[in-house]
Structure 1
Amino acid sequence: MHHAHDLNEHAPDEHEQKTRLVMSRRRFLAALGGATASLAVWSHGAWAAPMSAPRMVVVLLRGAMDGLHLMPPRDDPHYLRARGALAVQGAKPLDGSFGLHPALPFAHDLFARRQLLPLVAVAPPYRQRSHFDAQDCLENGTAAPGGRRDGWIGRCVEAMTGAEGVAIAQVMPLAMRGSTRADIWSPPLPRDPSAMLMQQLQALYAEDARLAPAFADAMQAQDMAMGTGTAGAFRLPDAMSAAARRLQGTDGARIAFVEDTGWDTHRGQEAALARKFGELDAGLRALHDGLGEDWRSTVVLVVTEFGRTVAANGSSGTDHGVGGMALLAGGAVRGSRIAGNWPGLATADLQDGRDLRATTDLRAVFKGVLLGHLGLRESAVESHVFPDSRSVRPFDGLV
């Protein structure tokens, strides 16, 4: 509290005036220094702690996740007519056109907090419908299957001074190969080895027109067992928790790769994807909670190898398509909007009259994160991480 002084109680002499002036200048400079420091902190957030080193998590949903079921264009008559009874009901609104599947409440909350950025009509440069070839292309980072024997994420780790990467998987995925500073963390093997074998064979059987339906039925039965905890498989939320543990702290890894299977929904898609989206949502929450403050400096890319047909098939499912959807999440993401170029679902706008047409190469999205978030040099991205891809310009404004 300040008190009024009697102006006649003491008249300072010349020495006292000089002393007071010097002390006032010192107090002003000290206060100015403190205010400058406060402004520096304030510029990054409301009195926030310094940001930790940037982190990236890539989540690959193997099997071709149905992007139109993840993010339905809710009132689009072409979508409603093509999907019929399979059209998503109760989608949570994102904007005036798209919604998010109701099994993803945490992801929807991230969108409201500007930490979720959905991307529409994306795919790797491979635009056919083979699981093997599409995943190979997505992971090797070139324009074609077999283009490299190492992966773009492994090459990214090598391009970052002192950074380490970790794959949460049973075997080292192609995407993480190519770096001496990338390792693998493998969960305990499932109690039922046949479950793991079925997952590994999923893509192979899906290519056979005669065997695919029977194998899909077997996989669905296996998934139901896994959902009740009887198969002992390593679930996506557990994998995301493991990734958070490896990424935490100043000595943690900078890049993580997480994979999940069971997204090939030729039959009974509605129930299967409600469960799978619930696991994805729980996985994002587990990563968010596990990272703590490090979430602020994290970008999560949720991708799949291709999309699925716009129209439902006769088995309450969808078949292999081309264009799909992706999600970016994390405290470093510029979210709360829809990104990408939506081509529409009218028959004339579809690829081959049946698939969502991809308008964005996934490599453009990856490049945007590597340059804008991880701070890689453009020369390293263009010559080493994604060679022969200069025509694919980075997707700006993601972070």
Structure 2
Amino acid sequence: MAISRRRFIHVAATGAGALLISPLSIPNVAFARADTERRFVFVIQRGAADGLNIVMPYGDPAYVPLRGSLAMDQANTVKLDGMFALHPSLAETAKMYAAREALFVHAVASPYRDRSHFDGQNVLETGGTTPYQVKDGWLNRLAGLLPHGPDAIAFAPSVPMALRGRTAVTSYAPSALPPAQDDLMMRVTQLYQHDAQLKPLWEAATATRAMVGDSGTRARQDAGTLGKFAATLLARDDGPRIAMIETAGWDTHSAQTQRLATTLKGLDALLAALRDGLGPQWAHTTVLVATEFGRTAAENGTGGTDHGTASAAMLVGGAVAGGRVIADWPGLRKADLYEGRDLKPTAALDTLIAGVAADSLRLDPQRTAAALFGQTVAQRPIAGLVRA
């Protein structure tokens, strides 16, 4: 089978350093020193995470009868306050909460009110009010607000929707292929030496390979290792200031108890690795963790939950004014549920993102909200969650 030159350079670069090149990820792979020391990381939970068992409202008397066998044993959870407790799999996150480096926003949702993963993720990532209304991502628009800084980066096999747009970004994902031999690298370099189109592509790939070194080949699917690898780039003076990390496994229609525990352990390891790997730069870092929508308040017939509406978002980082749960709690009685089945949204994910992004990167909040979500002054971004 014939292989195009563009496909060949993609495969060779993947073996060389696992850089997945797309038209949006070509420019400025060799980062320049940024104008800001602040870092903003968006971790997406693809699949609709069950906020009711991640941040458990044990103080709501309707919680235990509604959840059935999924109800968490309070003795095994970490009490956050008199109303909420944290899932025991988030042990390191609990330490961050105790250190006032983590907070949780409950009963939060994007404007999307149906239950399709694809449509919900599109609304979450584009910042629109309906699916496919907006053609670029809010995180890309956020990167465009930074003056002369390094590009944003996605630690994903391809550029996610949230990072697509006119601002140049980079994507990087670990490869399962063995590292390319030096002889192959040299031959490809010679092959494209005089190719005006492909030479810059190859130079970008090899520059990133040199920057990440051996750590990139070790960051397979292990969340902790991926977090450590991401931290090595984010901690650099010439590293990116905006990043996105994808996590999966949150669609717990059946056997939720064990599946959620396992997925949360991975997320916990990822966040802890970012904290430990960033070192002194952790003090300047904000990590937002959010999902496209929540899950049903009641257990289904297979030990799981179905697609819902509101969920819980997390903020972690040395820059976070943590140690609290923010919630205008709607209640879990039948009459209090959205459409009689879901946790009712009382907080807007858009205003949370706009406020946190602006405060994290020291941007004007109203300008940031307008750029990311087209919000009016009446829809004020949520402020005060990041330290000044």
The interval holding the TM-score normalised by the smaller chain is 0.7 to 0.9
Which residue of the other structure, out of 98, 122, 141, is the alignment partner of 2:84?
Answer: 98
SS of the aligned residue for 2:260 comes to helix
Deviation at 1:291, TM superposition (A): 0.3
Which residue of the other structure, out of 380, 385, 388, is the alignment partner of 1:393?
Answer: 380
Which residue of the other structure, out of 350, 356, 366, is the alignment partner of 1:369?
Answer: 356
Which residue of the other structure, out of 136, 152, 157, is the alignment partner of 1:150?
Answer: 136
TM-aligned CA distance change 1:139 to 1:313, over 3 Å? same
Q: Which amino acid aligns with 1:343?
A: P
1:311 aligns with 2:295: no
Using CA pairs under 8 Å that are at least 6 residues apart, name the structure with larger relative contact order, 1 or 2: 2
1:84 aligns with 2:68: yes
Match of 1:380 in 2: 367
SS of the aligned residue for 2:97 comes to helix
Greater alpha carbon shift after TM alignment, 376-385 vs 177-186: 376-385
Match of 1:74 in 2: 58
In structure 1, the gaps of 5 or more residues are: 1-51, 192-231
Which residue of the other structure, out of 122, 127, 130, is the alignment partner of 1:141?
Answer: 127
After superposition, the C-alpha distances for 1:307-357 in whole angstroms (9 at most, x for unaligned) are 000000010000000010010000011111111311111111110011000
Q: Which amino acid aligns with 1:283?
A: L
In structure 1, distance between residues paired with 2:272 and 2:175: 22
Which is greater in Rg? 1
In structure 1, distance between residues paired with 2:262 and 2:54: 12
SS of the aligned residue for 1:167 comes to strand
Which residue of the other structure, out of 54, 62, 67, is the alignment partner of 2:46?
Answer: 62
Q: Which amino acid aligns with 1:291?
A: L
RMSD of aligned Cα (Å) = 1.8
Deviation at 1:396, TM superposition (A): 1.5
In structure 2, distance between residues paired with 1:233 and 1:294: 24
TM-aligned CA distance change 1:389 to 1:173, over 3 Å? farther
Q: In the alignment, is the contact (CA less than 8 A) between 1:154 and 1:178 conserved in 2?
A: yes
Deviation at 1:393, TM superposition (A): 1.4
Q: In the alignment, is the contact (CA less than 8 A) between 1:166 and 1:253 conserved in 2?
A: yes
1:173 aligns with 2:160: yes
Deviation at 1:385, TM superposition (A): 2.2
Deviation at 1:384, TM superposition (A): 2.3
Deviation at 1:236, TM superposition (A): 2.4
Aligned length: 309
What pairs up with 1:33-52 in 2 under 5 angstroms? none
Match of 2:193 in 1: none
SS of the aligned residue for 1:351 comes to coil
Which residue of the other structure, out of 334, 338, 346, is the alignment partner of 1:359?
Answer: 346
Q: Which amino acid aligns with 2:170?
A: D
Which residue of the other structure, out of 37, 41, 52, is the alignment partner of 1:53?
Answer: 37
In structure 1, distance between residues paired with 2:177 and 2:50: 27
In structure 2, the gaps of 5 or more residues are: 1-35, 179-218
In structure 1, distance between residues paired with 2:166 and 2:233: 17
